[in-house]
Amino acid sequence: IERMVIRKYNISEDDFKIMETVVLKTEPHKAGQQWKFAGAFYYATTVLTTI
C-alpha cells in the first residue's frame, strides 16, 4: 500500500514516513467521537425548529 500511495500522490518516501508518523500519533477526542450521526441530527433538528 505504501508504494501505491507514493506513486499515486507523487510524494517522497521521507514525506510518506512523516505522514505515517502524524497519522499514528493522532489521538481521539477525550469524550469519544465528537459528531456521531444521532447527535448531529438532534442538534440540526433543534436548530431548525428553534428558527
pLDDT value for 13 = 93
- pTM recorded for the entire structure: 0.50
Query: What's the CA angle centered on 22, arms 30 and 34, to 5 degrees?
Result: 25
The predicted pLDDT at position 11 comes to: 92
Q: Are 16 and 6 in contact (CB under 8 A)?
A: yes
Contact 23, 34 (CB under 8 A): no
Q: What is the pLDDT of residue 33?
A: 67
Instruction: Measure CA 46 to chain center.
Output: 26
- Read off the amino acid at residue 48: L
The single residue listed with the C-alpha cell 481521539 is 28
What does the pLDDT read at residue 31?
A: 65
List, for the chain, all residue ranges whose pLDDT scores fall below the cut of 50: none
